[in-house]
Amino acid sequence: MVCFVLVTAVQADVGGPAGTIQFNRDVRPILSNHCFACHGQDGAKREAGLRLDTVDAGEVELESGETLVVPGEPAESELYRRVSTDDVSMRMPPEDFGKQLTAEQVNVLRRWIEEGGRWQQHWSFVPPTRPPVPEVSQPTWARGTIDRFVLARLDAEGLSPSSVAEPHVLVRRLSLDLTGLPPDLEVIAAFAADPSDDAYEALVDALLGSPRYGERMAVPWLDLVRYADTVGYHGDQERQIAPYRDYVINALNDNMPFDQFTIEQVAGDLLPDATTWQRVASGYNMLGRTTIEGGAQAKEYLAKYAADRVRTTATTWLGATMGCAECHDHKYDPYTTKDFYSLAAFFAGLREKGVGDPVADLSVPDDEQADELARLDAAIATAEARMAAASHDLPAAQASWETSLAATSAADVGGDADTAAGSPAADALAEFPEALRNVVEIADPERNDEQRRQLAEYYRNHVHPETSVIWGELTAARDARQAFATTVRHTIPAVAVPPREMRVLRRGDWMDDGGETVIPAVPHFLPQVDTGGERATRLDLARWMVAGEQPLTARVYVNRLWKLFFGTGLSKVLDDVGSQGEWPTHPALLDWMAVEFVESGWDVKHMVRLIVTSSAYRQSSDVSPELRQRDPYNRLIARQSRFRLDAEFVRDNALAISGLLVDRVGGESVRPYQPFGYYAHLNFPKRTYHHDSDDRQYRRGVYVHWQRTFLHPALLAFDAPSREECTADRPRSNTPLAALVLLNDPSFVEAARVLAAQMVRNGGATVGQRIDWAFRRAVARDATDEERAVLTDLYARHLAHYVHDPDAALEVGDNGKAPLPDDVDVVELAAWTSVARTILNLHETITRY
- The DSSP result for 537-551, as a single string, is -HHHHHHHHT-TT-S
Contacts of 254 by beta carbon, 8 Å cutoff, 6+ apart: 214
Residue 653 near residue 633, CB atoms below 8 Å: no
The residues near 416 (Cβ < 8 Å, ≥ 6 apart) are 407, 410
Residue 9: DSSP 8-state: P
pLDDT of amino acid 45:
76
Nearest to 759 by CA among 849, 678, 659, 638: 659
> What residues have CB less than 8 Å from 729, skipping those under 6 apart?
563, 569, 573, 574, 575
Cα–Cα distance measured from residue 7 to residue 29, given in angstroms and rounded to the nearest whole number: 8
**What's the average pLDDT block by block, 10 residues per block, for the chain (849 residues)?**
36 56 89 80 78 74 82 89 85 78 88 90 96 97 98 97 98 99 98 98 99 99 99 96 98 99 99 98 98 94 98 99 96 95 98 92 94 96 94 87 74 47 56 75 83 87 91 95 96 97 96 96 96 96 96 99 98 96 97 98 99 99 96 97 98 98 97 96 93 97 98 98 98 94 97 98 97 99 98 98 97 93 95 98 98
Residues 6+ apart with CB under 8 A from 758: 658, 659, 774, 777
- Residue 761 DSSP SS3: helix
Residue 7 near residue 92, CB atoms below 8 Å = no
- The whole-number pLDDT of residue 1 equals 35
Distance CA 678, CA 19 (A): 57
* Burial grade of 434 (CB within 10 A; 0-12, 13-18, 19 or more): exposed
CA distance 548 to 553: 9
Question: Concatenated DSSP letters for 471-507?
Answer: HHHHHHHHHHHHHHHTTSEEE----B-PPPPEE--GG
Phi-psi region of 730 (alpha: psi -120 to 50; beta: other; left: phi over 0): beta
Please tell me the chain's helix, strand, coil percentages from 3-state DSSP, rounded to the nearest 5: 50, 5, 45
Pairing of strands 502-503, 489-491: unpaired
Long-range contacts made by residues 627-634, C-beta under 8 angstroms, separation at least 24? 627/159, 627/162, 630/14, 630/157, 630/159, 631/13, 631/14, 631/159, 632/13, 633/13, 633/14, 633/568, 634/566, 634/567, 634/568
> 666: closest CA among 216, 248, 246?
246
785 φ/ψ sector (left φ>0, alpha ψ -120 to 50, else beta)? alpha
Nearest alpha-carbon partner for 241 in 275, 284, 291: 284
**DSSP tag of 59:** G
User: Hey, where are the domains in the chain?
Assistant: 23-120, 367-487, 744-848
DSSP string across 705-758 = ---GGG--HHHHHTT----SS--SS------HHHHHHHHH-HHHHHHHHHHHHH
The answer to whether residues 373 and 481 touch, using CB atoms and an 8 Å cutoff, is: yes
**What pLDDT is recorded for position 517?**
98
Helix (H, G, I), strand (E, B) or coil at 518: strand
Helix or strand holding residue 810 (H, E): helix 806-813
DSSP 238: B
Is there a contact between 231 and 239 (Cβ–Cβ < 8 Å)?
yes
Pairing of strands 362-364, 489-491: antiparallel
How many Cβ atoms from other residues are within 10 Å of residue 357's Cβ?
Answer: 15
The answer to whether the beta carbons of residues 489 and 240 sit under 8 Å apart is: yes
Note whether 334 and 57 are within 8 A (CB).
no
Pairwise CA distance, residues 22 & 108, whole Å:
10
DSSP string, 814-827: TSSSSPPPTTS-HH
**Helix ranges restricted to H, 158-297:** 167-179, 185-193, 197-208, 211-224, 242-253, 258-267, 276-281
Alpha-carbon span 122 to 448, nearest angstrom:
75
Contact 23, 112 (CB under 8 A): yes
The confidence score (pLDDT) of residue 773 equals 99
pLDDT at 132: 98
Phi, psi dihedrals of residue 593, rounded to the nearest 5°:
-70, -40
Q: Are 298 and 354 in contact (CB under 8 A)?
A: yes
SS (H, E, C) 14-41: CCCCCCCCCHHHHHHHHHHHHHHHHHCC
Give yes or no for a contact between 346 and 537, defined as CB atoms under 8 angstroms apart: yes
> 283: which DSSP letter?
G
Residue 350 β-bridge partners: 496
| Contact partners, residue 526, CB within 8 Å, separation at least 6 | 125, 550, 551, 552
Residue 132, sorted as left (phi over 0), alpha (psi -120 to 50) or beta, turns out to be: beta
Q: Is 174:204 a contact under the CB 8 Å cutoff?
A: yes
Give pTM, 2 decimals.
0.91
The answer to whether the beta carbons of residues 172 and 203 sit under 8 Å apart is no
Burial 564-592 (b: 16+ CB within 10 A, else e): bbbbbbbbbbbbbbbbbbbbbbbbbbbbb
> How many residues are recorded in the chain?
849
Distance CA 623, CA 200 (A): 24
* Main-chain phi, psi angles of 518, to 5 degrees: -125, 160
